[in-house]
Copies of this chain bind each other. A is one copy, B any other.
Amino acid sequence: MKSNSVNASIITIGDELLIGQTIDTNSAFIAQELNKIGVWVRRRLAVGDVYEEIWQALDEESRQSDIIIITGGLGPTADDITKPLLCKYFGGKLVVNEEVLAHVNYLFEKVFRRPGPMLERNLKQAEVPDVCTVLHNARGTAPGMLFKRDGKVFISLPGVPHEMKGLIVNEVVPYLLSAFKMPAIVHKTAFTAGQGESMIAELLKDFEPSLPSHIKLAYLPNYGMVKLRLTSRGDKKEEVEKEMIPYFEKLQELVKDFLITNEDEGLEIVIGKILKAKSKTMGTAESCTGGYIAHLITSVSGSSAYYKGSVVSYANEIKENILGVKKETLLSVGAVSEETVKEMVNGAISKLNVDFALATSGIMGPDGGTDDKPVGTVWIAAGNKEKVDTLKLNLRFDRQRNIGMTATNALNFLRKFILANS
């Protein structure tokens, strides 16, 4: 299988990756984009700002892969050593590239609007090895650089994520499509919620061995959901897709009781599609999730068509004063209770003037737990003008994960409520 494919390695450079101060999101983006066009990413390697280790990484990865993508180490500061290293590695010398220089000047004058003469360190951004092809970085001053040696392609990109992304989409992908004959890779993804990985695997225990060897099934558990992904490859995209259809249908059938969507999309997108199709609106009243559900929903472009807003009622007085939760409810059963989240939903429906509302209240930790209501106790309510349903969770994770798990469970609970009550 792998012998017919185009392989790539991704090398990310920077001490910050090795001391854990930065999470490497660049590699995931690059891998996604390469994968879409049929490039198989075999390895991802992160090394520090250390000359010999970068050099060694280039040697190692070029022995294994056809394409080597390098990010980071191109900035204007002294800890960035990649450009002179690449220059030496490929036996060139640094020369000013007039087009890059013009672009750097343009950015400083027109976009950044910096007064005064440009800094020497910024002018240096226009220097590139004379043995590379320059890739235009429309979003920043550090150009991409492409080198070739022994049939292998090396592409160096800046580490700033939005600059790297622009270069991948506008320069790297078109180049690779023209330079390599790619196999077709097809992924089909379904999401389940409400069952763990091992229970879903049990439903699929006869299905998995029935797959042809070139079709792979992967399980990707995430915050209370399991993503199921079938991957296949072949010469022609249409044929690969056609062959996949019955397997993907069978997969969906087997997990149908827990299936949320057969697209690679989050719950916030699924709910948005349902609401748009029904021309309904929603709002949220969040205590323990503190705006995270609102953030997930509004991360979707176009969400203003169905989402009106949230009352993040972190303090009890906000629950009372804006959402109209009764003082006696808060005094008698407390903020983390079935009755409070019911009243929060009713308040949100009326104050936000929406068809559906979702409310959360819980103890996310690490502090604030009691014997009666330990850390991880969460109440969720979803409702419309006629009816409110509730759900209790007992989570056992750290604060960030408790917030994430609450959001996933709440959104899935709302999804089911909308489907059952409209």
Identify the A interface with B (CB < 8 A).
15-25, 27-33, 35, 40-49, 53, 57, 60, 75-79, 111-112, 119, 121-122, 139, 160-162, 165, 187, 196-199, 201-202, 205, 208, 216-222, 227, 229, 231, 264, 284, 286, 289-295, 297-299, 301-304, 307-315, 317-318, 321-322, 351-353, 364-367, 396-401, 403
Beyond A162-B398, A291-B293, whether A220 also contacts B310 by CB under 8 A is no
Q: Can you spell out 15 A-B residue pairs with CB atoms less than 8 angstroms apart?
A: A17-B31, A18-B31, A20-B29, A21-B32, A27-B46, A43-B57, A44-B45, A79-B217, A290-B298, A291-B298, A301-B399, A303-B314, A308-B314, A310-B311, A311-B312
A6–chain B nearest beta-carbon distance, Å: 14
Tell me the number of copies of this protein. 2
Q: How far is the CA of A366 from the CA of B33 in the complex (A)?
A: 19
Beyond A18-B31, A291-B310, A312-B291, whether A46 also contacts B44 by CB under 8 A is yes
> Contact between B35 and A20 (Cβ–Cβ < 8 Å)?
yes
Residues of B within 8 A of A218 (CB): 15-16, 49, 79
Q: How far is the CA of A313 from the CA of B23 in the complex (A)?
A: 31
Beyond A317-B353, A365-B301, whether A229 also contacts B21 by CB under 8 A is yes
Residues of B within 8 A of A403 (CB): 299
Report the 3 A-B pairs with minimum CB-CB distance, sorted nearest first. Answer: A290-B298, A291-B294, A291-B291
Q: A20-B27, A291-B292, A322-B351 are in contact. List 17 more A-B contacts (CB 8 A).
A: A17-B27, A18-B43, A18-B44, A19-B35, A20-B35, A22-B222, A24-B27, A43-B53, A43-B57, A45-B46, A49-B218, A77-B219, A121-B205, A291-B298, A292-B295, A312-B312, A322-B352
Residues of B within 8 A of A365 (CB): 301
Q: How far is the CA of A77 from the CA of B227 in the complex (A)?
A: 13
Residues of B within 8 A of A119 (CB): 198-199, 202
Beyond A77-B201, A162-B398, A317-B308, whether A44 also contacts B17 by CB under 8 A is yes
CB closest residue in chain B, given A185: B19
CB closest residue in chain B, given A313: B309
